[in-house]
Structure 1
């Protein structure tokens, strides 16, 4: 090989190496990690954080979870809060955001179905849950605000079904969200609560308590839906996280947290 040809080959290789490095980075796992901010209904906050951590290990991206009642999150999104995706506690709110042009309808999907539980931290308090709700003495009952939280709306529907809403209304202890309502019962501020099964399952780790699952026929199904918001349309972390929620591994985790 002549000296000129050898020099030419070296120059060609020098030009090829940066391209090869770029290609390798593009093919790797999240060469440039991206952060996505996800608004999550309070009942699903703990589950979302664990799912976000699992997705982060798999993808290299980072998911930041902001939790509040669904009604509050809806108001924040409408006022321009910088969220990339929403995991709602109902199906109606994400659909409204799609209709209002604030979310991508192609990404709308159900990710969980919630259940309502009558629960007390007192192991002897709930012996016959149905009889207690139908005609028993209820001193104070904690629920999430029905105007802001779908689980609160389900609690009101259940009491309406039993024709006890107006009777028990003065004795209700309203939480801004289901997390606060659960805390009222855990702390003893309210002896009873109509709460998400997922949060009761968590509370039982420290307080065995006593509970009874409210029949699903007493209220509208608590279908929880997720959607990509307009701000997150070009965010690969947000899109990827919503896809991950539909994976078998994520569904198994969601069931373990107490959801159907």
Structure 2
């Protein structure tokens, strides 16, 4: 074989080896990208704040925080049935503590990230007064609430209504959502004129609350201490939880109307 032919053959073999390696390199790169993802389950009340936290974290550190929304009770049940979540942001402290005790969470990872605040809200200006008297005056057909059996904000709502002697009186008017996010949607869609929601759902940093609302005094319901817990060894999820506990993360949480533990 002549020298030019040998050179041509060597070049062809080299190109072929490179082409054969490309799928392997591509798969490795794709695997690295996929490895920089964390699936975070979150109670409905905390969704706006968590999205802001995730966007800031992703901009700083890369990766992707996937968000799965539900009531705390339902998310807890899904974790029991093997749902592939890397972390849970619950609306209470009981379910994260149970997951830790059951060995379904990383030891020592549980922490309180916020104290929730309950609000009565209507998109209509003037419908809800600043003392919540509208509840006893009855100038509405339907009142949206989160299911007290599934959602901590629903339990807090029941405590408020029972404390005012209105739970039995208003039961026929209640529209129950699986979580506080659904309660908010019932009001927004017009299926209820007003509803009990998380203050964080209607308050945005630097913006006035639209419509009319009553921030329920905290002595009318048990404190809504909200905890998070790491469920797997996903390093991105662990980094995200550390970010949430840092100064920048806490400032973001506070800006959505939460108190800090």
Is the TM-score greater than 0.5?
Answer: yes
Q: Which residue of 1 aligns with 2:126?
A: 124
Confirm whether residue 257 of structure 1 aligns to residue 248 of structure 2: no
Q: Which residue of 2 aligns with 1:23?
A: none
- Are the equivalent residues in 1 in contact too, given 2:202–2:210 (CA < 8 A)? no
User: What TM-score do you get using the length of structure 1 for normalisation?
Assistant: 0.81
Q: Which residue of 1 aligns with 2:230?
A: 228
Taking the aligned partners of 1:216 and 1:50, their CA distance within structure 2 comes to 25
**Deviant stretches of 4+, over 3 Å:** none
Q: Is 123-132 or 181-190 further displaced after alignment?
A: 123-132
Q: Which residue of 1 aligns with 2:157?
A: 155
- Residue 50 of structure 1, CA deviation: 2.0
Q: Which of 55, 77, 102 does residue 57 from structure 2 map onto?
A: 55
- Give unmatched runs, 5+ long, in structure 1: 1-30
- Are the equivalent residues in 2 in contact too, given 1:105–1:227 (CA < 8 A)? no
Q: Which residue of 1 aligns with 2:79?
A: 77
- Are the equivalent residues in 1 in contact too, given 2:127–2:134 (CA < 8 A)? no
Q: Which residue of 1 aligns with 2:214?
A: 212
SS in 1 for 2:114: strand
Instruction: Flag the 1:105–1:164 CA change in 2: closer, same or farther, 3 A.
Output: farther
- Are the equivalent residues in 2 in contact too, given 1:121–1:188 (CA < 8 A)? no
- Give unmatched runs, 5+ long, in structure 2: 1-31
Q: Which residue of 2 aligns with 1:136?
A: 137
Q: Which residue of 2 aligns with 1:179?
A: 181
SS in 2 for 1:82: coil
Taking the aligned partners of 1:36 and 1:126, their CA distance within structure 2 comes to 40
- Residue 127 of structure 1, CA deviation: 2.4
- What is the aligned-residue RMSD (CA, Å)? 1.9
Query: How many residue pairs end up in the alignment?
Result: 225
- Residue 161 of structure 1, CA deviation: 1.1
Taking the aligned partners of 2:37 and 2:216, their CA distance within structure 1 comes to 39
Instruction: Flag the 1:60–1:177 CA change in 2: closer, same or farther, 3 A.
Output: same
User: What TM-score do you get using the length of structure 2 for normalisation?
Assistant: 0.81
Taking the aligned partners of 2:60 and 2:157, their CA distance within structure 1 comes to 38
